[in-house]
Chain A
Amino acid sequence: MTDYGAFAAGPLFGLPLPELWFALVFAILGTFLFLDGFDFGAGALFATREDDEERETILAAIGPFWDGNEVWLVVFGGALFAAFPAVYANLFSRNYLLLFGVLAALILRGLAPEMYEQRHDTAWQRWWGRSFVTGSVLAPFLLGVFTANWLTGSGALLTPAGVAVGLALVALTVVSGAAFLRVKTTGSLREDVRQTGERALVAYLGLVVVALGLVALSTPRLAAAVTTPPVLVLVATSVGLGAGYMAALRTGRDLLALVASGLLTYGLVAVVALLLYPLVDPGSGLSISEAIIAPLALNIMSVASALLLPLVVTYFVVLYSAFSGPVQPTESY
Chain B
Amino acid sequence: MVDPVIASRVQFALTTIVHIIFPVMSMGLAPFLVYFTWREVRGSEAVYEQLRRFWTKIFAVSFVVGTVTGIVLEFEFGTNFAAFSTFAGELFGGPLATEGMMAFMLEATFLGIFVFGRERVSDRLYFVSSLAVAAGTWLSAVWILIANSWMQLPRGYELVERGGQTVVHLTDPLAAYLNPRFMFMYVHMQNAAVESVALFMAGVAAYHIFKHYVWGYSVQEVDFWEKTLKIAIVALLITAPLQVLHGDMYARHVHETQPQKFAAMEAVWETDSYVPEYLIAFPTSLDDITNPRAKELFGLGIPGGASWLASGGDPQATIRGLNSFDTEAPPVAIVFWSFRAMVGLGFWFILLAFWGGYRWWRGELLEDDLLHKALMGSSLLGILAVELGWVVTEVGRQPWVVQGVLKTADGVSPGLTGTEATITLAGFVMAYASLLALYSYVVARIIRAGPPSTEELRTFVTEADEPTAGAPGDD
Contacts and interface: CB of A to CB of B under 8 A. Distances in A.
A277 interface: no
Interface residues of B, number: 83
B29 to A, nearest CB: 14
Interface of B: 53, 56-57, 60-61, 63-65, 67-68, 70-72, 74-75, 77-80, 82-83, 85-86, 88-94, 96-102, 104-106, 108-113, 115-121, 125, 132, 163, 169-175, 413-416, 420, 423-424, 427, 431, 435, 438, 442, 445, 469-475
B105 A99 contact: no
Nearest to A332: B116
Contacts of B80: 93, 96
Ranked 4 nearest A-B pairs via Cβ? A85-B89, A325-B470, A92-B78, A78-B97
B15 to A, nearest CB: 10
10 contacts: A4-B172, A68-B109, A78-B99, A78-B100, A86-B89, A88-B85, A296-B171, A321-B473, A323-B116, A325-B470
Given A309-B101, A323-B116, A114 B109 contact: no
Contact of B115 (A64, A91, A255, A324): A64
Nearest to A315: B109
A250 B100 CA distance: 38
A114 B64 contact: yes
A119 B89 CA distance: 44
B78 to A, nearest CB: 3
Contact of B75 (A77, A110, A300): A77
B94 A300 contact: yes
Contacts of B471: 324-325
Contacts of B117: 64, 322-323
Contacts of A293: 89-90, 93, 170
Contacts of B171: 1, 8, 296
A318 B170 CA distance: 37
A259 interface: no
Interface string A305-333: 10011001001101101111110100111
Contacts of A114: 60-61, 64, 442
B93 A333 contact: no
Contacts of B98: 78, 304, 308
Interface stretch (A101-109, A217-225, A268-276): A101-109
B349 to A, nearest CB: 31
Contacts, number: 259
Contacts of A90: 82, 86
A85 B424 contact: no
A96 B175 CA distance: 34
A62 B341 CA distance: 44
Given A78-B97, A83-B93, A70 B108 contact: yes
A68 B108 contact: yes
B106 A100 contact: no
B129 to A, nearest CB: 9
Contact of A85 (B86, B108, B132): B86
A82 B109 CA distance: 23
A83 to B, nearest CB: 7
B113 A322 contact: yes
A97 B423 contact: yes
A194 interface: no
Nearest to B90: A293
A209 interface: no
A297 interface: yes
A97 B117 CA distance: 39
Nearest to B441: A118
A203 interface: no
Contact of A294 (B105, B170, B438): B170
A95 B64 CA distance: 26
A255 B110 CA distance: 23
Nearest to A3: B172
A274 to B, nearest CB: 24
Given A322-B472, A325-B475, A103 B97 contact: no
A6 interface: no
A205 to B, nearest CB: 27
A12 to B, nearest CB: 14
Given A86-B86, A325-B469, A333-B53, A75 B100 contact: yes
